[in-house]
Structure 1
Amino acid sequence: MANNFTTADDGVSDHVEYLCETDFPAITGPAFILIFIISVIGNGLLLCVLFMYENLKSVTNIFILNLACSDLIFTFTLPFWATDHLHHWVFGDFVCKFMTAAFFVGLYSSVILLTAMTVDRFITVVLHNWLSYVRRKKKYAVGACIAAWAISISASLHDAMKVKVENFDDVNYCEDSSSDRLGYYLQVSLLFFLPFAIIIFCYSAILKTVLRALNRKKHRTVAVLLCIVAAFFICWGPYHILLLIKSLYRPKGCKAQERLDIAYHICEILAYSHCCMNPLLYTLSQKLRKHLLKLLHCENVCRKNRERDMGLTSVSQKVTFTAQSSAVKLELHNLHGTALNSHS
């Protein structure tokens, strides 16, 4: 989250970490700005495609719409963390709490929505005879989305209350200064590792069922959703594991602290880049890719170019045909004139 997010037991150890600070934040700041730009463009285009060309009553599209909103909420916090990395915290205590809340709303809602989407696929593919779910599928999806937002907002408010602006050597830091280890482990377990276990179980059953079937369309749908879920855990997994390591391990000496900080910043960039990956993964769907091309007017431009080329071809053919006809007429006229002269 913040540049120097720590869960140390006392302020002295925090202060030692700041003295050992590396120059890696000079890279993470611009990286966050780049991720912000790509994510806003990608998720913005995705929302346009959904609203203009897709059926928003579809359960899959309901989840995709909510995921795009979740990614954008997370994305809008990135310029603040980029500034924090480059110049430390300059926005005050309220913005520190508000951005922390928005950060965790985006994170928690993403993992809950992905879990709900996976469970929906599991019931649809594996338990397809469960008629009571099929009849109320849309209601369950809407209910799952509402629950995801309610849980993520509640959990994020708890996180936001723990952060505050701390001053060390006349420099402000937006950080978590609490020592509530048990609450932190419980929250990470419930809102990251538990959903991960549920998703692994569901997709194991889904893949087993799908590989027996011969429906290619179903194969593609499951493959796209599997890529989306895999991307989330590949991006966020190392970050959460490293946060647990940081909360348990205290490096001795600046060299060890520097290695830990570099690993943390690399995992941080990987984790934050997830918000711009979903729009790229959705392009694996042929239908969404077609809608995106239509939105960007590429299809219209290509059609106009084809029509223009066809028009030019037809004109050239007409000119060639006219020239050939004129040549034939001229030759016939010359032959006729020669024949008249011979008779005379």
Structure 2
Amino acid sequence: MGNNSTMSSTTDDVEYLCDEIFDFTTISGAFFILVFIFSIAGNSLLLCVLVVYENLKNVTNLFVVNLACSDLVFTITLPFWATHLLHHWIFGDFCCKFMTAAYYVGLYSSIILLTAMTVDRFITVVLYNWPSNRVKRKRFAVGACVAAWVISIAASLSDAVNVKVETHWNDLIACESPSSDNVGYYLQVSLLFFFPLVIIVFCYSAILKTVLKSSNRKRHRTVVVVLCIVAAFFICWGPYNILLLIKPLYKPDGCDATERLYIVYHICQILAFSHCCMNPLLYMLSQKLRKHLLHLLSCEKECRKNRERGTGQSSSVFQNATSVVQNTAVMLELRTK
């Protein structure tokens, strides 16, 4: 991530500087802070609702809890990237590696968990005659969640090792990976983004075909919610990942083309990073979760009122006790006289 509005463009192997390029980094940095606030609030509320009101032994709820945790892991990196854009990298080499690892753990675990949710829906809806039971399904879900975290952590290690803090010619310090590692990055993105996309498209094609043939579609409301969650992920992250693959192969011809590429890159990045605060909104498509959320918020309001009422009652008791003591003192004083 860079925070420099002066960019270079190459034409006929001649490199020159483009000084008057619209600076999008301030907008991106401010947006990252907003996404951080909404994501922390939304995913924390979602976790509270699931823990307090829902059965975490339910397979879908288990996936949703892990997805919320994945979003939170990704979210904690946003203030660091915002500072990187608005100023430069001031947190040192270790933090650069750690935040890069957290960024990729959140990204990769999300897509693996979404793929596992889709496969679970595929087995439940399309292969409903397939011999299975709740115990096996739950074991599959637990195994998929554990595998998602293990694979994402292992995959993020290479990114964390390769990234480092570098000082550029204009004395700006950046946390970035060397461009020579692009081949490994492309392979990793293909395996952990586009390959799951193929699986999800195949599964949901079969799921939707089965649901449309079904006479009782109300039974498949969970399918709609999961489909919206999966679609939101690829709508947000798809353009950004495609652009990352195209960007090294595309050489802009002149400053105008460089500026367009620069603006499109930041717009796609904002769209991708905003995904972590969208899932709580999509989960509210479930009427049951909305009811739980309202109940949770009303309980908090009631507890606050009870605390205020208790404080008022204790103050009134204190005032009454004070007045009794004062009256007693006056009576004793009169008797002594």
Into which bin does the TM-score normalised by the smaller protein fall?
Answer: 0.7 to 0.9
Moved more, 69-78 or 133-142: 133-142
Q: CA 1:20–1:77 in 2, change beyond 3 Å: closer, same or farther? A: farther
Q: Tell me the alpha carbon deviations over residues 130-189 of structure 1, each in whole angstroms, 9 at most, x when there is no partner.
A: 223654000110000000000000011111111111111211011111413331221111
Q: CA 1:243–1:3 in 2, change beyond 3 Å: closer, same or farther? A: farther
| Conservation of the 8 A alpha-carbon contact between 2:211 and 2:217 | no
Q: CA 1:139–1:251 in 2, change beyond 3 Å: closer, same or farther? A: same
Q: Which amino acid in 1 is paired with 2:211? A: V
Q: Which amino acid in 2 is paired with 1:276? A: C
Q: CA 1:176–1:16 in 2, change beyond 3 Å: closer, same or farther? A: farther
Q: CA 1:291–1:217 in 2, change beyond 3 Å: closer, same or farther? A: same
Cα distance between partner residues in 2 of 1:52 and 1:190:
37
Q: Which amino acid in 2 is paired with 1:261? A: Y
Cα distance between partner residues in 2 of 1:141 and 1:26:
41
| Conservation of the 8 A alpha-carbon contact between 2:18 and 2:255 | no
Q: Tell me the alpha carbon deviations over residues 229-263 of structure 1, each in whole angstroms, 9 at most, x when there is no partner.
A: 00000000000011111121122332222111100
- Give aligned pairs, total: 294
Give the corresponding residue for 2:212: 211
Cα distance between partner residues in 2 of 1:23 and 1:180:
27
Cα distance between partner residues in 2 of 1:110 and 1:131:
29
Moved more, 248-257 or 77-86: 248-257
| Conservation of the 8 A alpha-carbon contact between 1:43 and 1:68 | yes
Cα distance between partner residues in 2 of 1:17 and 1:47:
48
Q: CA 1:17–1:103 in 2, change beyond 3 Å: closer, same or farther? A: farther
CA RMSD, aligned part only?
A: 2.2
| Conservation of the 8 A alpha-carbon contact between 2:88 and 2:172 | yes
Aligned: 1:247 with 2:248: yes
Cα distance between partner residues in 2 of 1:262 and 1:143:
41
Give the corresponding residue for 1:263: 264
Q: Which runs of 5+ in 2 are unaligned?
A: 306-337
Give the corresponding residue for 2:308: none
SS at match of 2:180: coil
Q: Tell me the alpha carbon deviations over residues 101-142 of structure 1, each in whole angstroms, 9 at most, x when there is no partner.
A: 000000000000000000000001101122236540001100
Give the corresponding residue for 2:104: 104
Aligned: 1:130 with 2:125: no
Cα distance between partner residues in 2 of 1:81 and 1:73:
14
Q: Which amino acid in 1 is paired with 2:173? A: N
Aligned 1:238-317 pairs, distance under 5 A: 238-297=239-298
Q: Which amino acid in 2 is paired with 1:197? A: V
Aligned: 1:68 with 2:51: no
SS at match of 1:55: coil
Aligned 1:173-192 pairs, distance under 5 A: 173-192=174-193
Q: Tell me the alpha carbon deviations over residues 304-326 of structure 1, each in whole angstroms, 9 at most, x when there is no partner.
A: 9xxxxxxxxxxxxxxxxxxxxxx
Q: Which structure has the larger Rg over C-alpha atoms?
A: 1
Q: Which amino acid in 2 is paired with 1:99? A: M
TM superposition shift of 1:275: 0.2
Give the corresponding residue for 2:329: none
Q: CA 1:280–1:161 in 2, change beyond 3 Å: closer, same or farther? A: same
TM normalised by structure 1 equals 0.81
Give the corresponding residue for 2:173: 172
SS at match of 1:129: coil
Q: Which runs of 5+ in 1 are unaligned?
A: 305-344
SS at match of 2:205: helix
Cα distance between partner residues in 1 of 2:276 and 2:17:
29
Cα distance between partner residues in 2 of 1:235 and 1:206:
23
Aligned: 1:81 with 2:54: no
Cα distance between partner residues in 2 of 1:136 and 1:116:
14
| Conservation of the 8 A alpha-carbon contact between 1:20 and 1:257 | no
SS at match of 2:33: helix
TM normalised by structure 2 equals 0.82
TM superposition shift of 1:300: 8.0
Give the corresponding residue for 1:221: 222
Q: Which amino acid in 1 is paired with 2:190? A: S
| Conservation of the 8 A alpha-carbon contact between 2:3 and 2:87 | no
Give the corresponding residue for 1:43: 43
Aligned 1:229-240 pairs, distance under 5 A: 229-240=230-241
Q: Which amino acid in 2 is paired with 1:244? A: L
